[in-house]
């Protein structure tokens, strides 16, 4: 066929070799740009790599044809083109492996940005100080953190099934508002109308704590239905609440490296799931017992109140003053605290822009925040973020904004914005 013959002659031409060299150079450039994350999209890189493949086929055909015709010059061009393909491929692999194991190359963002005279920028703090909360429910756990572990080891945990089942009969919306407003709990939405709250007990002010505790509370928005029955209270694969013994056995597992022992307790109920994890230097269940009792006392106190008021929160939970965004850290790894009061239920997310060119460098997910009708009360929301744009030590001005999305469906609005001088995370 004429088309096939013409295509064959093109592929056998020395110009196919030249096209192959150009395609190889373009493909290498695309690979480097993709690794450096400067905006080359995947389809373009893939198209150029396809050109390399087609050019390689053409060069191979050309080399074979010129060899039969004994054209030494054309053979040399085709051979060099194929060698160029091999070099480009090997170089791309070396660059990719180097980026994976030795750290990525600088992206250059921020090097040509001059901070305008008169622009007032705040500097990130070294760290955000922990919120000092006096919580009576966890005092026994904190006292245990300062004590040496006793000779007797606890291998089980007491469990009051009736008391825990009674918690699920109360108003979980009140509980959700409390967890949103408490600075020690970190809230995120789950699937199917679920809301997860997570916290680690703060032992920063305790001298010799020998364990760490993490608590996860999962709230379910609705009651169980016949088609989707809620699990009963118990441990994984366990019995209904009424059938559980007064004491639950604990199984400790050693990690074999740091000499730590790990245990987990899970209590699953129709509207509420409590998960506690302990890591300790001794296989002793006392910390887990005190944490379980503390969570029951904390949530029980809230639900017993029957209605919301900020006095349910421990002292120090609510700040005062003007809305603010506090930043701590550096080299692109930051801890951010938003202090605001939107006045209604909803979620907050953060955006950051390079301040002179308005280039977006950060956008976070939406997270619930506390609120009240008292505008002077500020509720805290903390989050860890990575700002990828830029490199360590290359500073540029960035505008951080906190945006609020009401649950009522009305238009989102900006709560506060602050200017900082930051550097980026090396990818």
Ramachandran angles phi, psi of 391, nearest 5°: -135, 155
Token couple for 259: 């000499």
Tokens of 20: 């192959």
Is residue 287 within 8 Å of residue 346, measured between CB atoms? no
3-state SS of 241-309 is HHHCCCEEECCCEECCCCCCEEEEEEEECCCEEEEEEEEECCCCCHHHHHHHHHHHHHHHHHHHHCCCC
Q: What is the pLDDT of residue 193?
A: 65
- Sign of the Cα torsion 8, 9, 10, 15 reads positive
One DSSP character per residue, 55-86 reads HHHHHHHHHHHHHHHT-HHHHHHHHHHHHHHH
pLDDT of residue 90: 64
Whole-structure pTM over 0.75, yes or no?
no
Nearest CA-CA partner of 348 in 387, 378, 307: 378
Q: To the nearest 10°, the Cα dihedral for 307, 310, 316, 319?
A: 150
Angle between helices 14-36 and 42-69 (to 10 degrees): 150
Query: Between β-strands 253-254 and 261-268, what pairing exists: parallel, antiparallel or unpaired?
Result: antiparallel
Start-to-end CA distance of the chain, whole Å, equals 52
Place of tokens 């505790």: 213
Burial class (CB in 10 A: 0-12, 13-18, 19+), 36: middle
Contacts of 291 (CB under 8 A, 6+ apart): 138, 141, 201, 213, 215, 276, 278
Calpha distance 109→279 (Å, rounded): 41
Is 149 buried (19+), middle (13-18) or exposed (0-12) by CB count in 10 A? middle
> How do the pLDDT tens digits run along the chain, 427 residues long?
443 444 445 545 556 656 666 666 665 555 555 444 443 344 445 555 566 666 666 666 666 665 666 666 666 666 666 676 667 666 665 655 555 454 444 556 777 788 888 889 999 999 887 776 778 888 888 888 877 766 667 778 887 777 777 776 666 788 888 888 888 888 877 666 677 888 887 676 666 677 888 888 887 654 332 223 333 333 333 333 444 456 777 778 877 666 788 888 887 777 778 888 888 888 888 888 888 888 888 888 888 888 888 889 888 888 888 999 999 998 889 999 999 999 998 999 999 999 998 989 898 988 889 898 888 899 988 888 999 888 888 899 999 999 999 988 899 999 999 999 999 886 5
- The three-state secondary structure class of 380 is strand
Listing DSSP states for 346-363 in one string gives EEEEEEEEETTTTEEEEE
Contact between 372 and 310 (Cβ < 8 Å)? yes
Q: CA-based Rg of the chain, rounded to a whole angstrom?
A: 31
Exposed, middle or buried by CB within 10 Å (0-12, 13-18, 19+), for 358?
exposed
Cα–Cα dist 107/112, whole Å: 12
Task: Output the six-digit token pair for 410.
Answer: 């009305």
Query: Secondary structure of the chain: what % helix, strand, coil (to 5)?
Result: 35, 25, 40
- Give the H/E segment covering residue 117: none
CB–CB of 220/272 below 8 Å?
yes
For 149, residues 6+ apart whose C-beta sits below 8 A from its C-beta are 210, 281, 282, 284, 286
pLDDT of residue 36: 45
pLDDT attached to residue 339: 92
pLDDT at residue 1 in the model: 43
- Of 198, 45, 212, 65, nearest in space to 141 by CA: 212
Find tokens 């191979």 and name the residue: 60
Q: How far apart are CA 204 and CA 207, in angstroms?
A: 8
C-beta of residue 324 within 8 angstroms of C-beta of residue 418: yes
């Amino acid at each position: 066929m004429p088309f096939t013959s013409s295509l064959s002659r093109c592929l056998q031409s020395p110009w196919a070799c030249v096209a192959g060299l150009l395609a190889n150079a373009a493909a290498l450039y695309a690979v480097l740009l993709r690794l450096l994350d400067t905006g080359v999209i995947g389809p373009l890189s893939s198209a150029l790599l396809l050109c390399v493949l087609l050019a390689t086929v053409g060069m191979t055909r050309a080399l074979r044809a010129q060899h039969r015709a004994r054209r030494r010059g054309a053979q040399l061009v085709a051979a060099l083109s194929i060698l160029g393909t091999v070099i480009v491929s090997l170089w791309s692999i070396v660059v990719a492996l180097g980026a994976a194991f030795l750290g990525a190359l600088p992206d250059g963002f921020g090097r040509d940005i001059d901070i305008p005279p008169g622009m007032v920028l705040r500097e990130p703090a070294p760290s955000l100080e922990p919120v000092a909360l006096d919580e009576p429910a966890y005092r026994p756990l904190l006292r245990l953190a300062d004590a040496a572990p006793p000779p007797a080891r606890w291998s089980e945990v007491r469990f009051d099934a009736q008391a825990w089942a009674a918690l699920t009969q109360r108003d979980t919306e009140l509980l959700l508002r409390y967890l949103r407003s408490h600075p020690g709990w970190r809230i995120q939405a789950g699937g199917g109308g679920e809301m997860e709250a997570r916290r680690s007990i703060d032992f920063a002010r305790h001298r010799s704590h020998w364990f760490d505790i993490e608590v996860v509370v999962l709230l379910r928005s609705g009651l169980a239905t016949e088609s989707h029955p809620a699990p009963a209270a118990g441990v994984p694969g366990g019995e209904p609440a009424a059938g559980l013994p007064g004491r639950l056995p604990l199984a400790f597992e050693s990690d074999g490296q740091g000499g730590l022992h790990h245990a987990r307790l899970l209590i699953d109920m129709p509207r509420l799931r409590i998960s506690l994890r302990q890591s300790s230097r001794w296989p002793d269940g006392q910390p887990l017992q005190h944490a379980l009792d503390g969570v029951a006392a904390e949530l029980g106190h809230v639900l017993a109140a029957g209605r919301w008021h900020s006095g349910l929160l421990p002292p120090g939970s609510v700040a005062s003053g003007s809305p603010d965004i506090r930043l701590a850290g550096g080299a692109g790894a930051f801890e951010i605290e938003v202090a605001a009061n939107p006045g209604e239920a909803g979620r907050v997310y953060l955006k950051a822009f390079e301040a002179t060119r308005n280039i977006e460098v950060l956008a976070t997910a939406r997270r619930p925040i506390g609120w009240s009708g008292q505008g002077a009360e500020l509720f805290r929301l903390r989050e860890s973020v990575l700002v990828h744009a830029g490199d360590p030590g290359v500073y540029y001005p960035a505008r951080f904004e906190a945006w609020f999305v009401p649950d009522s469906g009305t238009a989102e609005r900006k709560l506060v914005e602050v200017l900082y001088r930051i550097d980026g995370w090396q990818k």
